[in-house]
């Protein structure tokens, strides 16, 4: 079977675009013959297949809407239901959701009830948005994200971030679970992201530019906000915690890396590796948001320790560190808001 979504990812001939405002939910796409004499809608979850790819080119359906339209609808939905615009958004990665049990939000939304929101099928990503006052700071906590490897485009994988931008949220803290590449790191360490390497995943800015959000060619020389990073260090110091710092590299996933790939990444300067965050940072910076990043080192990367790498190991480390992470987030929010 031919997979045109993968062809799109690999920058080949075929491209896919949403066919309606329900496209993220249903995966409905318009497929046209090369002469555009006929059209049909196919349903996939999350992929569809063509047995004769040479007969088709995939283009936007008449009247189709962009991903940004879904994000605007989501932002309007949240503005209508939340009286205050959050001062900061927090996106929780794999295993991080247990850390926010102490947060008592005013409103909780399932991703399924927010228009145009994608829903993750990966364990450790519950798919809920919690909004409320956390330690004196109006906060939006996105419990879970979707990933490129689930079949979403890079742009769709950044829906949460762009929704926050359209909502008017000025700052965002992106968190993730990562494999440690730096030999100084230990499982359980927390790393403040100082920079990233995103070349292994297509940019979420591919395609027509959303001019209302940002420029066609956004600057990334200071992707991670230094005052916000310093705020994380101050908050950690107040609870007797020391944070690492380093460069994060995003891969496409979903497979873990090979030892040879880890050696290459170390030569490139990466200190930690994961399957998210970098493209979200690109989308956030494009929209003018200030960004901080925090990685939980759940394991040492392939070839650095004996044994196989598993997602269960990632989740277990997240659970074991949830109390410390929860304290850090609670202390960090006022510092981040004031940075």
Residues designated catalytic: 94, 125, 147, 149-150, 177, 275-276, 299, 311
- Rounded Cα distance between 182 and 56, Å, is 46
Q: Token digits for 265?
A: 């990444």
Is the backbone of residue 11 left (phi > 0), alpha (psi -120 to 50) or beta? Answer: left
In order, the DSSP letters of 151-164 are: T--TTGGGHHHHHH
Q: Which residues pair with 291 in a beta bridge?
A: 172
Residue 193 has a CB neighbour count (10 Å cut-off) of: 27
Integer-rounded Cα Rg, in Å, for the chain is 20
Residue 171 has a CB neighbour count (10 Å cut-off) of: 20
Residue 189 has a CB neighbour count (10 Å cut-off) of: 20
What are the angstrom distances between the C-alpha of 105 and each of 68, 113, 173, 250, 273?
27, 17, 18, 31, 32
- Rounded Cα distance between 93 and 204, Å, is 19
Residue 127 C-alpha from the chain's centroid: 12
- Rounded Cα distance between 167 and 177, Å, is 26
**Closest of 181, 194, 188 to residue 296, by C-alpha:** 188
């Amino acid at each position: 079977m031919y997979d045109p979504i993968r062809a799109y990812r690999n920058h080949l001939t075929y491209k896919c675009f949403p066919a309606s405002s329900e496209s993220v939910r249903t995966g409905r796409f318009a497929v046209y013959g090369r002469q555009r004499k006929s059209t049909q809608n196919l349903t996939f979850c999350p992929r569809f297949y063509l047995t004769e790819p040479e007969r088709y080119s995939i283009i936007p359906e008449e009247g189709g809407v962009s991903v940004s339209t879904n994000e605007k609808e989501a932002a309007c939905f949240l503005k209508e239901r939340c009286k205050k615009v959050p001062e900061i958004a927090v996106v929780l990665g794999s295993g991080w959701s247990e850390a926010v049990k102490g947060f008592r939000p005013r409103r909780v939304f399932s991703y399924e009830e927010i228009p145009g929101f994608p829903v993750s099928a990966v364990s450790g990503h519950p798919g809920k948005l919690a909004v409320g006052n956390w330690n004196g700071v109006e906060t939006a906590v996105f419990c879970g994200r979707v990933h490129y490897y689930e079949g979403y485009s890079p742009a769709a994988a950044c829906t949460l971030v762009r929704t926050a931008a359209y909502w008017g949220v000025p700052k965002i803290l992106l968190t993730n679970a990562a494999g440690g590449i730096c030999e100084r790191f230990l499982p359980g360490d927390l790393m403040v992201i100082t920079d990233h390497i995103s070349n292994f995943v297509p940019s979420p800015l591919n395609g027509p530019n959303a001019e209302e959000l940002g420029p066609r060619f956004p600057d990334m020389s200071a992707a991670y906000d230094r005052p916000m990073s310093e705020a994380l260090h101050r908050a950690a110091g107040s609870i007797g915690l020391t944070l690492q710092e380093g460069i994060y590299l995003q891969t496409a996933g979903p497979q873990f890396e090979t030892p040879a790939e880890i050696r290459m990444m170390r030569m490139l300067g990466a200190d930690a590796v994961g399957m998210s965050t970098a493209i979200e940072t690109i989308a956030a910076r494009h929209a003018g948001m200030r960004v901080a990043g925090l990685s939980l080192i759940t394991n040492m990367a392939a070839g650095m320790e004996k044994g196989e790498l598993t997602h269960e190991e990632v989740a277990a480390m997240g659970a074991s560190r949830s109390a410390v992470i929860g304290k850090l987030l609670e202390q960090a929010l006022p510092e981040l808001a004031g940075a």
